[in-house]
Amino acid sequence: MFTLPTLRRSLILTALLAGAAHAGTVSVAVAANFTAPMQKIAAEFAKDTGHKAELSFGATGKFYAQISNGAPFGILLSADDTTPAKIASEGKGVADSRFTYAVGKLVLWSKQDGYVDAQGAVLKTGKFQHVAIANPKLAPYGLAAEQTLTQLGLLEQIKPKFVQGENIGQTYQFAATGNAELGFVALSQVMEDGKIKSGSAWLVPSSMHEPIRQDAIVLNTAKDNAAAKALMDYLRGDKVRAIITSYGYAF
């Protein structure tokens, strides 16, 4: 015979087990620039929903190639809007699931305090050996950096000084370790809680490059995955938007 406290504990345990039984997992391919916010979002997502997001970080172009070759990702959080559109048009993703989860911002950054001025005039001095940039064929932030230098009329002059990263994560490492005095990186990599964490930076005006609209899409492998649906809904919520904004993104 159950006493009241024992019965209460039993009911709570049953409810917890039922919740765990309904919790799911989704594999998420995440653009490298979104590493820090997505790690925080995934932790909150697990706490709030019980679902788990398994994260892989890398270049959007590489993820597209892997998805085309059958990689079992459930969601792509792209660094652009063209790749998810292409995936949808090719029938590899759920077209009506696609939406812009963030708009990225490009920044010229140095780990040295005072090295980069607020107008980016350091680029015109030529007094540096290397500039880190992501591969523009694979990474939208790399393409935006090239477009910026073209607007400034400096692309051909600076191109010989490029140190090219496979993705924006590797590009940041080149600048953070000092292998390049300057780096065109995502604002999210050097900002937290609305402030530049260290070093010096020039926030590139958005008018100098195409908008970096970052779209999410559910891939066909996860079209019936409850965790995938839950994460896509979660990404639209106010809590997540506050996290994303704190890393320098817009909407």
Domain ranges of the chain: 25-103+212-247, 106-203
CA distances from 90 to 14, 82, 86, 128 (A): 44, 12, 6, 44
Q: Is pLDDT above 60 for 14?
A: no
> 60 among the known binding-site residues?
yes
Instruction: Read off the pLDDT of each residue in 98-112 and give the average, rounded to a whole number.
Output: 98
168 appears as a binding residue in the annotation:
yes
Instruction: In whole angstroms, give the CA distance from residue 122 to residue 204.
Output: 13
Arithmetic mean of pLDDT, 223-227 = 97
The answer on pLDDT for 9 being more than 70 is no
106-203 shares the fold of 25-103+212-247: yes
Output the pLDDT for position 5: 52
39/133 Cα distance (integer angstroms): 24
Q: What DSSP character marks residue 164?
A: E
Axis crossing angle, helix 140-152 with helix 168-176, rounded to the nearest 10 = 60
Superfamily of structural domain 106-203: Periplasmic binding protein-like II (3.40.190.10)
CA distance 53 to 59: 18
| Predicted pLDDT of residue 13 | 43
pLDDT at 21: 44
C-alpha R_g of the chain = 21
pTM (2 decimals)? 0.87
Q: Please say if the pLDDT value at position 166 is more than 60.
A: yes
**What mean pLDDT do residues 102-113 have?**
98
Q: What is the mean pLDDT of the chain?
A: 92
**What is the per-residue pLDDT for 6?**
55
Superfamily for the 25-103+212-247 domain = Periplasmic binding protein-like II (3.40.190.10)
